[in-house]
Chains A and B, each alone.
Chain A
């Protein structure tokens, strides 16, 4: 470069040095800024779209996971329905007592059945035009798999005291140990025989009686006791007039707990779930959120405090179908009939048994449940709906179920009721 400068005239060298040292012109600057701006906009848009995309995929991933978890919980409970419990107490020939006419039977116990399918609670206005979820009430020995040997049943006039055999394998497996003191023993008993639950006692003739648990006592730890209220009144076979009932101390009878569990789609009401809604109170898509809720009912049909559980967040639909024994040839060759989710005749087979269903129908004739569960993504990120029946791909969260639409994951499967393959009474 030095040699170039040396051989150029002075005025040319001066101009060259001036050009080299000068700043950008306004035009150059504007062009550069404009170009940079376009580049920035493109990069920003790409980053923003990428970020939104991954958020959306994450949301639908959450919905998928929620549907899997919720479905598995529901499936396990349904598969176990009717375990150590009558599939239909009103028709069960083994039941001692008359739940139909006896006014001392509490409301829910009167219609004890392994399953009952009903219309669920009303949905928020945004969803009500799109879905009408069912609810299902199950009865089974969910708190324990054990049948506990009984030592004695005492009628005090005010209550029934059912003494359990402390030295039994069932109590041992429960973890009941009288050396641990009254409080520990009481806690172990309460965990299974909670107040409000039903107790089934099968006497030595195979006859069953049901009572309502009002409490437990381990005041004398070696004499664990379950206390029953007088609703319903139990039958004691004190005279020849009674065709069934307890005789003597009933030592050797078996007692087990029966839980009523209800699944439905609704907003949680338990105070312990308050923070769940408070945290997203301002979110427009959370105003209409509903969940798959599991709650335990007492023998009167009221929810037992502290049993409300959130099984799957943002659940929007639960539809149930049934497979039933339709007819029996020679009482041993049943044929099956399936009623798809939403079929208007489901209530006639698996609806609540109070009032009475048709004589040749009832929940004891149900052999399998078809469950369809829909879980939506938290945010509505779609403007258009994909129309499909039956089942949901998207659900509108706007006014009257319009846009925007949230995506929905739907899972469906049949679940056989393995605890009631035999009862065919009524056919």
Chain B
């Protein structure tokens, strides 16, 4: 019996087991590489989204330059409508909306893979929603003391695939999209913007 064993090679079972172990090891290495790539990509996207959200908050702060009345000097005038973005609080108070691209400010809801604002929403890799709500109206408690809560939501697809039909579609429901956490990653940033000091 032991003489026969000395002569024999590996059995098919032993070979298959060896290959299986090798396969598991190689699969593990490849899987780790995939995880590393996707983690790096996700970290990059998170970074970009955070900067896009910050850029939006700064845009809103700069937009307040055009919001000067009602003021002590001119309590009867309301010029919030002169702003580009902040005036959305009048049409959609306390609701998520996708703002339209503004060709003068070269800024809008869509951004490419490097975080550049893009006018063509079909090429957007990141998209943005805004929610504006009143903290203090412009005439109370003190005239010229208007204060808005500004919330920005930046989102992009989890699978990294551009979805030109849905990602930045202005007709899509912002509320429904905001709940679709299986399809999109989200970054939120909240701040407040005060009315510009009356001149």
How many residues does chain B have at the interface if contact means C-beta atoms less than 8 Å apart? 47
Task: Tell me whether A412 and B61 are in contact (CB under 8 A).
Answer: no
Closest to A63 in B: B44
B190 within 8 A of A: no
Kindly specify which of B50-58, B89-97, B129-137, B159-167 makes contact with the partner chain.
Answer: B50-58
CB < 8 Å: which of A53, A333, A334, A410 contacts B33? A53
Task: Tell me whether A64 and B47 are in contact (CB under 8 A).
Answer: yes
Main secondary structure of the interface of A (DSSP, over half): mixed
| Binary flags per residue of A337-377, CB closer than 8 Å to B gives 1, else 0 | 11010000000000000000000000000011010100000
Inter-chain CB contacts under 8 Å: number: 122
Kindly specify which of A163-171, A205-213, A398-406, A415-423 makes contact with the partner chain.
Answer: A415-423
B151 within 8 A of A: no
Task: Tell me whether B66 and A333 are in contact (CB under 8 A).
Answer: yes
CB < 8 Å: which of A61, A67, A332, A414 contacts B69? A332
Task: Tell me whether A411 and B66 are in contact (CB under 8 A).
Answer: no
Instruction: State A199–B36 Cα separation when bound (angstroms).
Output: 52
Instruction: State A417–B196 Cα separation when bound (angstroms).
Output: 13
Asked if A411 meets B47 with Cβ closer than 8 Å, knowing A332-B68, A334-B65, A336-B104, the reply is: yes
B82 within 8 A of A: yes
| Binary flags per residue of A302-337, CB closer than 8 Å to B gives 1, else 0 | 000000000000000000010101000001111111
Task: Tell me whether A336 and B79 are in contact (CB under 8 A).
Answer: no
Task: Tell me whether A336 and B66 are in contact (CB under 8 A).
Answer: yes
Kindly specify which of A107-115, A175-183, A228-236, A385-393 makes contact with the partner chain.
Answer: A385-393
Interface residues of A in 227-274 (CB under 8 A from B): none
Interface residues of B in 10-29 (CB under 8 A from A): 26, 29
A90 within 8 A of B: no
A71 within 8 A of B: yes
Q: Which residues of A contact B44 (CB under 8 A)?
A: 64, 409
Q: Which residues of A contact B79 (CB under 8 A)?
A: 332-333
Q: Which residues of A contact B63 (CB under 8 A)?
A: 336
Query: 28 A-B Cβ contacts within 8 A?
Result: A1-B3, A4-B3, A46-B26, A57-B37, A60-B40, A64-B47, A332-B69, A332-B199, A333-B66, A333-B82, A336-B66, A336-B104, A337-B104, A337-B105, A338-B105, A368-B61, A388-B113, A391-B114, A411-B48, A412-B51, A412-B55, A412-B115, A414-B56, A414-B62, A416-B58, A417-B62, A422-B196, A422-B197
8 closest cross-chain pairs (CB), A and B: A413-B55, A391-B114, A416-B61, A368-B62, A413-B51, A416-B58, A414-B55, A412-B115
Given pairs A53-B36, A410-B115, 8 additional interface contacts (CB within 8 A): A20-B3, A64-B47, A323-B62, A337-B104, A340-B106, A393-B113, A413-B51, A417-B62
